Amino acid sequence: MLYKKERPAILMFQDGRYFQGIGFGATKIVTGEFVFNTMTGAGYLETLTDPSYWGQIVVMTHPLVGNYGVSPWEKDEYGITKYFESDSIKVTGYVVNECCKHPSHYQSVKTLDEFLTEQDVPGIEWIDTRAVTKILREEGVQVGALAVYESGEKPDIDDLKQVAAEAEDPNLRNLASEVSTKVVNVYKPSNPIGKVVLLDMGAKLNILRNLVYRGLEIIVVPYNYTYKQIMSYNPDGVFISNGPGDPAICKNAIEVSSKLIEQSIPAMGICLGNQILALGAGGSSYKLKYGHRGGNKTVINPQSQKCYITSQNHGFCVKDFEKGGFEEILRNIDDESNEGIEHKTKPIFAVQFHPEACPGPLDSLYLFDKFVENMRLRP
């Protein structure tokens, strides 16, 4: 039973199944792809602002979210936002069991409810997120709608069913083009040891932090920059970032990666960047049933049998990249899907997970050092 002051909210799957709850954040109706994230109670600010979630309605499996509030929009000495992974919330909608109304943290300047409200993103709480996750886990990700109504407003279930039924699969769009930078941005430390062009497919800011903190000048360019435009900066290496959506749609980035491989340019890719490099090598991509999203995903090196705990957020994966001269260097321990590739003779590698973490474990930060070393060893 809803109290009069509370806003009714509905989570509606495309097949007509729905869950009723209480709304927070923005009052509106949105559509998108429902996915679940197994992150703990920490890391929700980074999750909310991760561009890889563009077009998706995220279900958090942890029962309480928002307990340490929301940090201020501050920047570091390089002009990179400190506490978030982009300049705005990128998820389309947010689903939690309970949204904390009275957070406690010395950096907190607002509640999660206030944050979503000012960013015009709807949220729903007090629904059985375990039941929702079970559906996604057993049946695969679902397209649908999330609706938050005004207090006292009676939801029109039939109307919302129609909205959900007509909802577009966001993966049919070029989502990377929607979150990529529109202008070239430069981040330059004093006395840089090298120069990297980062092809922005929806990059998390902690990638920039990890690169610039290692003394690299970073030139961030839009998703549609050609190989010729990228190389006009005379970089020591090229980085292809993470991002949302189907990698097969990213035709320009695939062409860029193909040229990088052909010319033996030191390169590193993360997440969508892993997929793009694999496709540039002649491989293929496919959609996972429910994806890998969370901060506790184990990957294994098939040669050394060494394991790493990783942070992940992707719905697609790759195969058949071996014919392009690459070998698998990391594999998912749960479903044996690819988690990393490296060229056998050229300074090019990529991983499917997020070594920059934020949130998540720091097991794989060494990969940024490997990228730096590859540039130093360039002939």
With a CB cutoff of 8 Å and minimum separation 6, the contacts of 97 are 60, 62, 63, 64, 65, 125, 126, 127, 128, 129
**Number of alpha helices (DSSP H) and beta strands (DSSP E) in the chain:** 10, 19
> 46, 62, 354, 358: which is the annotated catalytic residue?
354
Does the annotation mark 307 as catalytic?
Answer: no
Does the annotation mark 356 as catalytic?
Answer: yes
Does the annotation mark 98 as catalytic?
Answer: no
Counting beta carbons within 10 angstroms of the beta carbon of residue 158, is it exposed (0 to 12), middle (13 to 18) or buried (19 or more)? exposed
Q: Rounded to whole angstroms, what are the CA distances from 335 to 39, 134, 351?
A: 19, 18, 16
3-state secondary structure (DSSP) of residue 136: helix
Query: What's the maximum distance between 2 C-alpha atoms anywhere in the chain?
Result: 70
ω into 122 cis (within 30 of 0): no
Q: Pull the structure tokens for residue 216.
A: 């690299």
Alpha carbon distance 214, 230 (integer Å): 21
> 85, 328, 342, 356: which is the annotated catalytic residue?
356
Beta-bridge partner residues of 284: 319
Note whether 194 and 216 are within 8 A (CB): yes
Alpha carbon distance 303, 226 (integer Å): 35
3-state secondary structure (DSSP) of residue 225: coil
Length of the chain: 379
Backbone angles phi, psi at 187, to 5 degrees: -125, 115
3-state secondary structure (DSSP) of residue 219: strand
> 250, 271, 317, 358: which is the annotated catalytic residue?
271
Catalytic residues: 271, 354, 356
